Amino acid sequence: MANNLYNKMNSSFVLYDTNKTVLEKFTSIHSKSLSQKPIHLAKSPIEVAEKASIVITMLPDSPFVQEVYLGKDGLINGLDNSSFFIDSSTIDQSVSKDVSNQIINKGARQIDAPVSGGVVGAEAATLTFMVGAASEDDFIKAKPYLNHMGKNIVYCGNLGSGQIAKICNNMLLAISMIGLSETMNLGIKLGMDPKLLSEILNTSTGKCWSSEKYNPCPGVMSNVPSSKNYEGGFGNKLMAKDLRLAINAANLTNVTVILASVTQQIYKFLSKSPDYENKDFSSIYKWLDENGK
C-alpha cells in the first residue's frame, strides 16, 4: 500500500513504524526518488502528525489504535485544524468511533477505511476500501489517496460503518474458506484431480472468491500462500481477531451466527497452534488434510 502511494504521489513522505527494518527496506527501495520526494523517518506518532497533513494508519488491533492515536506520544497531540486521518485498521467499531470522535473534537478530521484484498491486492493496488465518515465531504477528500492504493472505494455511511462492512466480509470469507477446504479435501481423497475439481467449482454454483483467487490446496494456483507453504498472506491470528470482532458484534445485537461461531473456534485454535499461528488463513486446508478421521 505504501509503495503504491509513494510511487503515484508527488510529495514528501513521513513514515513511522516500530519495526525499523521495514522503514529501512522502504527507503532503500525508493532510494532513487528521495531527492524529488524526500522520506522523513519519524520517531513517534506525534511527530508524524506534526509533519504530515494527511496521515494513514494500519494497526493490528484496537489497543494499538488507541495508543497510536490517543497515547502520550499519540497523533492527537500533534494535530492541527488541517490534519486529516485515515485509519485502515480493522478494529472494534465502538473503539473506532470513539477515537474518530476524539480526533474530530480536537478540530481535525478522521475516517475509518478498512481494506479487503490481501497482500496481492495491496501490491496490485486493487484493494477495496470500506469507508465510514462523518460526512460525504470527508469521503471525497480521502478518495484520491485511497484510489492510489485500491480499485473499489466505497462510502458505507457514518463513522464506524467501514468497520461493519469489513467484519461482515471477513466473517463470510472465513466461513467460505473452511467450506472450500473441506470440499477440496473430500474431492481429492475420493480420487479427483485437484486442478480439475477447482475448474469445475469455478464454472459451477460452488464458485466463491477463495475458489477463484485463493485456492487453499497446494499446487492448484501459483503465487498464493498455499503454494508457498502458507507463508505470507492473511494470518490465522488476524482472521481469529476479525472473527472475534464479528462474534462480539453479533452478541451485542442478538444476531444468531451459527456457522461464524464454529468458524471462530477453528481459527482461534489455529491461531494458538505453534504449527499454524503464523500461517495464512488458508492453512485450514492443511490442518484438515493432516487430521482426517
Strand (E) or helix (H) holding 110: strand 109-112
Out of 43, 51, 166, 268, the active site residue is 166
By the 10 Å C-beta count (0-12 exposed, 13-18 middle, 19+ buried), 215 is classed as buried
153 is written with which cell numbers?
472505494
Nearest CA to 170 among 85, 96, 234, 122? 234
* Dist. CA 216–CA 25, nearest whole Å: 30
Active site residue 166: yes
* Dist. CA 151–CA 149, nearest whole Å: 7
115: helix, strand or coil: strand
* Dist. CA 41–CA 23, nearest whole Å: 8
Positions annotated as catalytic residues are 166
